[in-house]
Amino acid sequence: MKLSKSRWLLIIVSLGVIIPFMAPYLTFDPSMSRVPITSTSIQYPVLVGHILFAFIALVSGFFQFIDRIRIHKPIIHRYLGRIYVCSVFISGLLALVVIFYIEDFSKAISFLALSLIWLFTTWKGYRTAVRKRFDEHKKWMIRSFGMTLVAVSGRVLVPVLLFAYYTLNVFSLPGGREKMIEEVLNVNIWAGIILNFIIIEWMILKSSKTQK
């Protein structure tokens, strides 16, 4: 199982960022939720379901980009691929429900855009595999996994956005610290989508140029 240093770094950073965020939800105790739980009906179980399946998608996704497995163990690649696709669909559809409980409009729309792009790119990746169009399949799956990783980049970008907020307000905090954090947490998913989109499309362009 040979992985380049940058891929190991990506795996370690991703798990290092996501596991602490997930931890309170593994207690299955709504009072530990960081996301405000405003309804006693389905909100909390749906949120926990979303998080658990998203984590399965994240971990299974990492295995799909290990060349040794993909090239030399196609059966394992196919099984893990099915697990990845099913968990994205379940987690992405549950996210569509969670969005109804988000109060801020900009934040809700950022998660809506993310879940629709996630479901769409994964669907295209699945369909192209079924039709044996493997060049396209690879591109769509890179796009899909790039969207999975918005859960990481959106959080990694928070300190950068806090600094940008402070700088754009000419080194002052007009509404105080809480306002700054609130504003940043309302836009960090947008920033993650844009950043990952640029990186993924650049990687796809670069690899199709080197193949020519």
CB of 210 to ligand HEM, least distance (A): 28
- The binding site for ligand HEM (CB under 6 A) comprises 18, 21-22, 34-35, 50-51, 54-55, 57-58, 95, 98-99, 102, 111, 114-115, 118, 147-148, 150-151
Contacts 24+ apart (CB under 8 A), 28-36: 35/98, 35/101
Tell me whether residue 67 or residue 104 sits nearer to ligand HEM (CB atom): 104
Place of tokens 């600094």: 163
Residue closest to 7 by CA, chosen among 142, 114, 186: 142
Tell me whether residue 197 or residue 209 sits nearer to ligand HEM (CB atom): 197
Tell me whether residue 35 or residue 180 sits nearer to ligand HEM (CB atom): 35
**Residues sharing a CB contact under 8 Å with residue 39, sequence separation 6 or more, in sequence order:** 101
CB of 96 to ligand HEM, least distance (A): 8
Tell me whether residue 76 or residue 97 sits nearer to ligand HEM (CB atom): 97
By CB atoms closer than 10 A (0-12, 13-18, 19+), residue 96 is: middle
